[in-house]
Amino acid sequence: MKPPPTPGPRWPTLRGFVPALVLVLGAVLGAVLPGPALSAQNPQETWSSCAQRTAAAERAAGMPRHLLTAVSKVESGRWHAQTGEIIAWPWTVTAGGEGRFLPSKAAAIAEVERLRARGVTNIDVGCMQINLYHHPKAFDSLEQAFDPDRNVAYAIGFLRELRDRWGSWTRAVGNYHSNTPALSGRYRAKVFKMVYAEKHRAAKQRRAARLAARLAAVQRALRPPSTTPVIR
């Protein structure tokens, strides 16, 4: 989430955003809490953490399917060599146009503190890359900022407020990044390209699951009857 350096009057204010966030936090957090305990010792849970939260939050908030997941992948997507796909990474820190994929929450927090010590304030964090400069009251602490549940919940509340303000999810997605038309248009194109990819991936998974179920049924049907005698 990278708003323009000097937001214009159209940019949503926290006064307008807070009520929307309060309304959505209960439903979203209820859907995604409690999440798995994430640690550097459990990389599989870390890789799946953002996707689990965004999928649950989409359902809870009534968003279009795959939209929030697509935004997260555009914001904090990291290449996963084993699966051959881009997956949102919860310990992502971006500043000065450079994204950093940290190995743990502690490392991500330390990176933000290091940047702040150098005087850097425009920093994006977490699954949804919430900007700490433009959203200073989003989180009570860096620990909370890097909590995938809180990070995703704030993002979905912000997107809902933008949808209400601009009248559509399409415009909301663009303005999640910037209210400058050229920047928002390019960003929106990236997100909806990712939405299409997510729909294709989900359909492929459904086809594979149906095929596996049919094969299992055939195997059961061809299995020879048991020769164990029945004792009456």
Per-residue pLDDT of 2-61, as tens digits, reads 553 333 323 333 334 443 443 344 444 444 444 444 444 456 788 999 999 999 999 888
Residues 6+ positions from 25 with CB-CB distance below 8 Å: 153, 157
Token pair 């009456």 is found at 232
What is the per-residue DSSP string for 91-133?
TEEEETTEEEE-SSHHHHHHHHHHHHHTT---EEETTTTEETT
Reported pTM = 0.74
Q: Which residues of the chain have pLDDT under 70?
A: 2-43, 226-232
Q: 194 and 73 in contact (C-beta within 8 Å)?
A: yes
Confidence at residue 205, expressed as pLDDT on a 0 to 100 scale: 74
* Closest C-alpha among 97, 68, 101, 57 to residue 194: 68
Confidence at residue 143, expressed as pLDDT on a 0 to 100 scale: 97
Residues 6+ positions from 29 with CB-CB distance below 8 Å: 149, 150, 153
